[in-house]
Structure 1
Amino acid sequence: MRMLLADQGQSWNEEVVNKETWLQGPLKASCLYGQLPKFQDGDLTLYQSNAILRHLGRTLGLYGKDQREAALVDVVNDGVEDLRSKYITLIYTNYEAGKKEYVKALPGHLKPFETLLSQNQGGQAFIMGDQISFADYNLLDLLLIHQVLAPGCLDSLPLLSAYVARLSARPKLKAFLASPEHVNRPINGNGKQASNPVC
């Protein structure tokens, strides 16, 4: 969400909730599903990361040019979330014992995204269509995280590697990725991979 907002030139106010405040209970009790993020857009309150991303996609014109592209963007985003679920399971339940096998299987999990890129202007555009979508930001986030987990994980995937470099070089996004607000934010809440990549 932050990368999308920054790259699209949007301003936002962020309230960072520390563990102590969260454990006090009232904020958690006020959240629809008892979890963050919580997103305010005027009088609209949203929960769930992907609902927020889709809202931003619709609001900012980042959801494909038509219904067909929108459907394909959804396919990409759901694929990103499938891999993110595997990653979260590793990080929070099986990091020490499972990392080696996870990294070994990672190229196979990333291959569908390489395939999608190859089918869209030879991998020289975005993940779907010729305009950036909310799914591009979600995929980029996941790929940057995986480059911290397993440097070189994109070495056998040249289109994805170039895609990460190309998106990360977008001026507003590049500035955000280099900002202290991004660099100093832990990737995971349990301290695994405690520093963000600087691109």
Structure 2
Amino acid sequence: MPGEYTLTYFPVRGRGEAIRMLLADQGQEWTEDVVNGEIWKKGDLKKLCAFGQLPRFQDGNFILHQSNAILRHLARNHGLYGEDAKEAALLDMVNDGVEDLRNKYARLIYQNYESDYNLLDILHVHLVLASNCLSSLPLLAGYVQRLNDRPLLKNFLESDARKKRFINGNGKQ
């Protein structure tokens, strides 16, 4: 029966937040079963989880794992999964694209924060287009500065060849 929902997850937004947003937007109530690090490390809950990970979602007596499977389940149950199989496939395609971005984000923040040159490049572009865009974001501005200060990278960034190169076809340098 709809409304008998329980979301088991850590005390962060993470993979649970899209589920929470969908439920809230559909006027649904749910119970939060918050799992702290100590509980998770004990391993008892982890053994009950398919794939050994959270979130865990309970819809009455039906239990699901994997955030995207949970979202698709809820979307189907609340009339949000398209009018037909083709629309559902398009929604799956968009969600898979979002998943690709989420995976890159996770790699950036958990594994490869100080060597993501794509992030640095796009932030440089933003700084050309709006020089004060990072002024209210001190951590991100600090990230840019730390990388800009690396001696070899700094030499490249200050080189005449780079300064003459436009950021794209609009003529901005």
- After TM superposition, the score normalised by the length of structure 2 is 0.58
Check if 1:104 corresponds to 2:121.
yes
Q: Which of 35, 38, 50 is residue 32 of structure 1 equivalent to? A: 50
1:89-100 correspondence to structure 2 within 5 Å: 89-98=107-116, 100=117
Cα distance change of structure 1 residues 96 and 16 upon mapping to structure 2, 3 Å threshold: same
1:33 partner SS:
helix
Residue 102 of structure 1 and its aligned partner are, at CA, apart by 2.4
RMSD of equivalent CA atoms: 2.2
- Percent identity between the two aligned chains: 62
Gaps of 5+ in 1: 107-146, 152-199
Kindly indicate which of the two structures has a greater share of residues assigned to strand.
Answer: 2
- DSSP-derived class of the 1:75 partner: helix
Superposition deviation, residue 101 in structure 1: 2.6
Aligned residue in 2 for 1:43: 61
Compute the displacement of 1:31 (Å).
1.0
Alignment-derived partner of residue 197 in structure 1? none
Letter in 1 for 2:119: Y
Letter in 2 for 1:104: D
**Is the 1:103–1:150 Cα contact (8 Å) retained in structure 2?**
no
Aligned counterparts, 1:20-169, within 5 A: 20-98=38-116, 100-102=117-119, 104=121
Does structure 2 conserve the Cα–Cα contact (< 8 Å) formed by 1:38 and 1:46? yes
SS at match of 1:54: helix
- SS of corresponding position for 1:15: strand
Could you tell me how far apart the structure 2 residues matched to 1:21 and 1:6 are? 27
Q: Select the structure with the greater relative contact order (CA < 8 A; seq sep ≥ 6).
A: 1
Amino acid at match of 1:101: N
CA distance in 1, matches of 2:76, 2:27: 16
Residue 13 of structure 1 is aligned with which of 18, 22, 31? 31
Q: Could you say which structure has the larger radius of gyration?
A: 2
How many pairs does the alignment contain? Answer: 109
Q: Partners in 2 of 1:57 and 1:103 — Cα distance?
A: 36
Q: 1:86 to 1:5 in 2, by over 3 A?
A: same
